[in-house]
Amino acid sequence: MLSTPRAYALLVIGLLASRGAAAQRPPRSAADSIRDSVLANGITAGEADGERMNRNLLSRARLNFGFTTFELGGGVLVDYIGYDQDSASRSQFDLASIGKLRDARVLVGGKFSTKRSFTWQAGVMYDAATKKWLVRQSGVMIAIPELWGHLFIGRAKEGFSLNKVMVGYDGWTMERQPFTDASIPLLADGIKWLGYVPSQHWFWNLGVFGDGFSQGQTFSSYSNQFVVRSGWVPVVSDSAGSLVHVAVNYRIGKPLNDSLRLRSRPEAFEAPYFIDTGPFTSTLSQQLGPEVYYRPGRLLFGGEYYWQNANSADKGNLWFNGGEVVATWLTTGETRSYNTVGNYFRSIAPTRTVMQGGPGAWEAVLKYSYANLNSRSVQGGRFSRVTPMLNWYLTDNARLEIAYGFGVLNRFGTIGHTQFFQVRLQTEL
């Protein structure tokens, strides 16, 4: 595994070399101009967090200081959850109904007054679990049309998994699948190259990360890691009609202090960790898996599945796996739009909001997830869950989510069945 400084250096050298080669290309064509327009307008330092809404009924504060613009945004999530357990489930965990603040965040960002698109963002989030304010996605994004993409430097999501890349406020369900929550750190510090070639419908995300600035953070579980996400979008329509998205993800990393722990809640933030390997020795971890989505208008079908390998001196060669499949239907006729540069789906913008006297947007969702954290002597458990739910987007800024979940946990030598009854109210600007 390359040291983090050397990996950073090799990535930057590669980018500069590619840029030099690009300078020898023929004069720019009309297609080049279209490409540059997409790059300049498609993504900012905030990535999915920085997406602007179509109608800011709760407007973001916007200022212009000359050398940079300044925008203030944020969001709040409030949850309520109740449970119904069989006797086996109660022997595994004693669960109590609760209402709780899930998330509160403040984001600031802007665009520097430079010829080349150069944006920045800084974000903090109140972590209800630790009762602390933590630094979230923060850094700068530089457009590099010569390389068909953008270079991000700072703290961000690694870029592994479409559903992980999307901001949690925009997802079709309340929480992400347990397996990626267990195996993929929420954030990492480093450099990412996000590229997109419209004529070939090809995209990529290449990142190198280290823990020089993140030691002690809740997400810091690797001393360094390298991540690649690459895919093809042969049928592209940003906000109407059909879209096909196919990608493959790969990551390799050195666990911090040669110790790894995989654990996840059961798609319910207020619940304890249902699956948990506990700490085990590991000098190297690799992860691989596909993601496939198809959006024929108001419908969306897709899923992701991943395998993780961990080399352990005393436990042997360990393998874990998990994924999800999902189907959504916007009954009021909207289409979930897609960012072709960042390669993720956006939130829903109602055709007629409740504030305009309309019904808002209604989305029916059915999702199945599975996670297996058992391998050899490491027995973290197996968990599966079926989740039908309903999302009501009152405006671009406000959303009400109602979900039922049926989960099956095989752990502690027992198979327990739990029913989840969840409600979430979110607002953002």
Q: What's the confidence (pLDDT) of residue 22?
A: 39
Return the pLDDT at 16: 39
**pLDDT higher at 34 or 86:** 86
pLDDT of 30 above 50: no
Can you give the pTM of this predicted structure?
0.88
* pLDDT of the residue at 414: 97
SS3 letters for the chain?
Answer: CCCHHHHHHHHHHHHHHHHHHHCCCCCCCHHHHHHHHHHHHHCCCCHHHHCCCCCCCCCCEEEECCCEEEEEEEEEEEEEEEEEECHHHHHHCCCCCEEEEEEEEEEEEEEECCCCCEEEEEEEEEECCCCEEEECCEEEEEEEHHHCEEEEEEEECCCCCHHHHCCHHHCCCCCCCHHHHHHCCCCEEEEEEEEEECCCCEEEEEEEEECCCCCCCCCCCEEEEEEEEEEECCCCCCCCCEEEEEEEEEEEEEEHHHEECCEECCCCCCCCCCEECCCEECCEEEEEEEEEEEEECCEEEEEEEEEEEEEECCCEEEEEEEEEEEEEEECCCCCCCEECCCCEECCCCCCCCHHHCCCCEEEEEEEEEEEEEEECCEEEEEEEEEEEEEEEECCCCEEEEEEEEEEEEEECCEEEEEEEEEEEEEEEC
pLDDT at residue 283 is higher than 90: yes
User: What's the pLDDT band for 39 if we cut at 50, 70, 90?
Assistant: very low
Q: How confident is the model at residue 213 (pLDDT cuts 50, 70, 90)?
A: confident
pLDDT given at position 5: 44
Q: Tens digits of per-residue pLDDT, 232-267?
A: 998 877 788 899 999 999 999 999 999 999 999 999
Q: What is the pLDDT of residue 57?
A: 56
- Structure confidence at residue 168 as a pLDDT band (50, 70, 90): confident
pLDDT at 54: 55
CATH 3.40.50.360 fits 4-428, yes or no: no
pLDDT value, residue 59: 63
- Looking at residue 287, what is its pLDDT? 98
- Domain edges within the chain: 4-428
Kindly report the average pLDDT of the chain as a whole number.
88
% of the chain at pLDDT higher than 90? 71
